[in-house]
Structure 1
Amino acid sequence: MDTFTTRSRDIVRLRYLFARAGFGATPAELDEASGKSLRKIVRRLFTDSESVVELHVVSPDENESKQELKGMMRDGQLDKDMLKERIRLNTEKVRDLNLQWLDQMASGKGALREKMALFWHGHFACRTMGRNPLLMQQYANTLRQHALGRFGNLLMAVSKEPAMLQFLNNQQNRKNAPNENFAREVMELFTLGRGNYSEHDIKEAARAFTGWQFTPEGQFIFRERIHDDGEKTIFGKTGPFKGEDVIAMLLENKQTARFITAKIYNYFVADGPVSKPDDKKRVDELAEQFYKSGYDITDLMETIFMADWFYDAKNQGAHIKSPVELLAGLRHTLGVRFDQPQPQIFVQRTLGQLLFYPPNVAGWPGGKNWIDSSSLLFRMQLPNYVLKAADVMVQPKEDGDVNTQALARKGGAKFRTTVDWADFEAAFSKTPDEELTKTIAATLLPFPLRPDQLPLLEKQTNPAQTRSERIRALTAALMSLPEYQLT
C-alpha cells in the first residue's frame, strides 16, 4: 500500500471523529493529530472542552420587568408602538445569542462541549416564548455548562430553567388546577420515552411539580402556597412527593438510561432508529454502563469514541449534517467570517434549523428530514455562496411562525465573507500537484473520490491558474458535492 493511501485512510478516520465529536477539522488539525494514538486524540477532545465560556448578550437588570410593562401603559392599555419596539429589541438579542453560540461552535474551541450542547438543545427542546433573551441565554448556558457532566444534574438544572417552565406551561401548574404538560414531557421526551409510564403517573407527577415557578427576574423559585403537598402515588410509590422526588424516581429507572443512550447512539453513531441486533446489543451494554456510572456523560462518550465499531465503514458518511453542523463546519474548516450576521440566520431558517426555535417540543427530527426538494439545491450551492461572496435570492421556508419570520430578511441575503485561505492552503504546501485533488478531498469528504469524479473535478481548474487559485477552485468544487453534506 503506498504512502498516500495509508495517510489518506488515517486522515479520513480522523475527519470522521472530528466531524461526529465536533464540527469538523482544519487540514492543519488533521495533520497535527495524524500519527497520534486514538486514546490521546480522544482525551484531547475532552480536555479541550473542560472549561466553558458563558454566552452573554443581556444582563439580568436589562430584562423586561413588570415595572417596565407598567411604563408602557397609556390610558389603561399597552402602548402598541412601545411594545413593538421592545419585541424588536428582544428579537435582536435572541438573534445575537444565536450568532454568539454559532461563533463558539465554529471557533473549534471546546468543540465536543458545543456539539453535546447542540444535541441537548434538540433533546431538551425549548423555544423563546415572548422573545425573552435572558431566559434563553440562561437555558443555553445551562445546556453548555452540564453538557459533559452527569445527566441527573443536567436534567434537574434544565427542568428548573425558567425558559423551560414557561415553554411547558408549569407556571400555570397549581394545586386544585394542575397542568400536566410539564410532567408529561419530562417523562415522554426527557427520560423514559413514550409508553413507559401511565396516565396516572403523569397526573400525580403534575401535582408534585406544582409550585415550580420563576420570578420576573428569571430565577427559579418554589412557591409553597401553590404546591399540592398531599400524598401522590407515582410509579407505585406513595408519599407527599415534590418535583425533585419525581426527578430522582426517573433517574432510578433504568429505562431512562436506555432511552438517553439510544438517542445519543442515534445522533453520534447510527443516524437512524436503533433496530439492528448489533446496534441494540451495543446500546444495551452502553446503557448499563451509563446507569452504573451515575449517568456520567463524559464516560459514555469516551467509550463510544474509543470503540472499534464507532469507526465501522457503515457508519462513516451515514449522517446527514444538520444545517447548524453544515454552517459551523464550513466556517471552522476554512476560517470563514461573515461581515454581516444576517446571512447566517438566513441559512439556518432556509435549511430548517434555527437555534432557539425548534419546531415543537420534540425538537428537530433530523436524519433524512433535513433534505427536501426546496432545501437540497441551496445546501449544495451554499459553499459557493459563502466562498464567492454571492447574492442569494432564495426565499426561506414559510413556517407560519411570526417569530422566525421576523429574523429573516425578505428578498434573499447578501453573502459578504472573509476566508482564511492562507492557513488552509499552507496545509497542502508539500502536496504534489498530481495528488492535490485527492488530498484535499480526504480532508473534506467521508468517502474517497470515485474514478468518475476525479476528471470532473479537474475540469474545475485550468493550467493558467496559480497553485493558490487551483486549491480554492478545487475546494469549492469538492464542498459542492453531495458527499460534503455527510459525515
Structure 2
Amino acid sequence: MQLSLNGPANHRANPNENLARELLELFSLGEGHYSEADVREAARALSGYRLDAERQLVLDPRRHDFGTKTILGRSADFNAETLAAWLAEQPATARHIAGRIWRQQVGTPPPPQWLTALADGWRLQQLSIPWLMGAIAAAPEAVESRERGLRLADPIEVVARSLGLLGSRHPDALALSLRGLRAMGQPPFEPPSVKGWPVNEQWLNLRWLQARRRSLQALLSDEEVWDSRQLPPELPATLTPIAPLTVSLPAEPTREAIAQLFADPVWQLA
C-alpha cells in the first residue's frame, strides 16, 4: 500500500493524501465517517515513511511532520502508530471492518441489528480477530449460508481444496495452480486494487468461471500430478457444503469421480 498509494512521496512540505484517504475509507472508518480535514491531517501523520534497503518501513525524521494534528476531534502529535491506535478506538472502525469480514465470510450483507451487536462485542474483546471470526461463523446467517451454499468460494479456496484432495506435492501441481489462479482472476498477492478481491457474486464473470473449470481439469489430467496423488480412502459427503449434482458422495476416489466432482457447480461453493 505504501508503494501503490504514493507513500514515499508523502513529505511534510507537500503531504500526499492517497494513503490517508484509503486508510480512512477502506481499512478503518468507512465512507461518510470522516471529513476532508481528517484526510489532510492523517496525511501529515503518515508523512516521512519510506522503505529501506531491506524493504522495511522506516520513518525519516527529515520528511515527517512532527506538528500537532487534529484528527476526529483529537489533537496530538500523530504518527502512523498513534494514528492507527486512534482509528482502532472508533466505533465506526469496528462496524466497518466487521461488516467487510462478514460479507467476505458469509457472502450476504449483515443484518444491521446484528452488525451493531457484533461490532460492539468485538470492541469489548479489544478487536480480537479470533473472537470476531468465531462470532461470525456461529451466527445463524453464516450457518444458513453454508447449508444452502449461498457463497461462491474465492478461486484460491477452490484451488486449495482441490490440491488438498489430490494430495500431490509435485511441482506441476503448484505451477498449474498458480497459472490457473491468474486465469481465474486471483493471482496470489496481486489484488486488482488496494480494496482487495471480489466477493461472492462479484466472481460471477463468464471468463473467470470458465477458467475455474479448465484449470481444475488441467490439474487433474496432468499425469505427474496424478501419479504423485495421495487420495483419501473415499470421497466423503463432507467434501461439499451441499450434495453435488453430478456425483453421489461418499464415492470411491477414482479419477472419473474426482473429475465429476471438480466439474460440479457445488465444488465452487464455500
Aligned to 1:80: none
Match of 1:443 among 238, 244, 265: 238
Q: Which amino acid aligns with 1:324?
A: I
Aligned to 2:27: 190
Structure 2 gaps of 5+ residues are none
8 A Cα contact 1:441 1:448, kept in partner: no
Match of 2:105 among 268, 290, 294: 268
CA change 1:344–1:313 in 2 (3 A) is closer
Q: Which amino acid aligns with 2:129?
A: I
Match of 2:204 among 359, 371, 394: 371
Match of 1:357 among 172, 175, 190: 190
CA change 1:368–1:338 in 2 (3 A) is farther
Alignment partner of 1:387: what SS? helix
CA change 1:447–1:197 in 2 (3 A) is same
How far is the alpha carbon of 1:212 from its aligned partner?
2.1
Deviation string 1:80-135 (CA, Å, 9 cap, x unpaired) is xxxxxxxxxxxxxxxxxxxxxxxxxxxxxxxxxxxxxxxxxxxxxxxxxxxxxxxx
8 A Cα contact 1:387 1:476, kept in partner: yes
8 A Cα contact 1:170 1:212, kept in partner: yes
- 2:5 aligned with 1:172: no
Deviation string 1:411-458 (CA, Å, 9 cap, x unpaired) is xxxx8413665542x2x3xxxxxxxxxxx47233322356xx56xx79
8 A Cα contact 2:12 2:65, kept in partner: yes
Q: Which amino acid aligns with 2:68?
A: E
Q: Supply the distance in 2 between the matched residues of 1:365 and 1:382 (Cα, whole angstroms).
A: 19
- 2:226 aligned with 1:418: yes
Deviation string 1:382-437 (CA, Å, 9 cap, x unpaired) is 33322221xxxxxxxxxxxxxxxxxxxxxxxxx8413665542x2x3xxxxxxxxx
Match of 1:347 among 172, 180, 189: 180
CA change 1:381–1:200 in 2 (3 A) is same
Deviation string 1:48-105 (CA, Å, 9 cap, x unpaired) is xxxxxxxxxxxxxxxxxxxxxxxxxxxxxxxxxxxxxxxxxxxxxxxxxxxxxxxxxx
Aligned to 1:237: 74
How far is the alpha carbon of 1:268 from its aligned partner?
1.2
How far is the alpha carbon of 1:168 from its aligned partner?
2.1
Aligned to 1:471: 254
Aligned to 1:224: 61
Match of 2:154 among 296, 316, 322: 322
Percent identity for Structure 1 against Structure 2: 32
Aligned to 1:140: none
Q: Supply the distance in 1 between the matched residues of 2:217 and 2:127 (Cα, whole angstroms).
A: 43
Q: Which amino acid aligns with 2:109?
A: P
Aligned to 1:281: 113
CA change 1:304–1:241 in 2 (3 A) is closer
How far is the alpha carbon of 1:371 from its aligned partner?
2.6
Query: Superposed, which structure 2 residues align to 1:20-419 within 5 Å?
Result: 164-269=1-106, 271-274=107-110, 279-312=111-144, 316-340=148-172, 341-389=174-222, 416-418=224-226
Deviation string 1:303-343 (CA, Å, 9 cap, x unpaired) is 23344543226764111111111111100122133433432
- 2:253 aligned with 1:483: no
Q: Supply the distance in 2 between the matched residues of 1:309 and 1:272 (Cα, whole angstroms).
A: 9
8 A Cα contact 1:173 1:179, kept in partner: yes
Q: Which amino acid aligns with 2:225?
A: T
Q: Supply the distance in 2 between the matched residues of 1:352 and 1:382 (Cα, whole angstroms).
A: 12
Alignment partner of 2:2: what SS? helix
8 A Cα contact 2:49 2:59, kept in partner: yes
**TM-score normalized by the length of structure 2:** 0.88
More helix by share: 1
Q: Supply the distance in 2 between the matched residues of 1:231 and 1:422 (Cα, whole angstroms).
A: 61
Q: Supply the distance in 2 between the matched residues of 1:188 and 1:420 (Cα, whole angstroms).
A: 47
Structure 1 gaps of 5+ residues are 1-163, 390-414, 429-439, 459-466
Aligned pair count reads 268
8 A Cα contact 1:330 1:336, kept in partner: no
**TM-score normalized by the length of structure 1:** 0.51
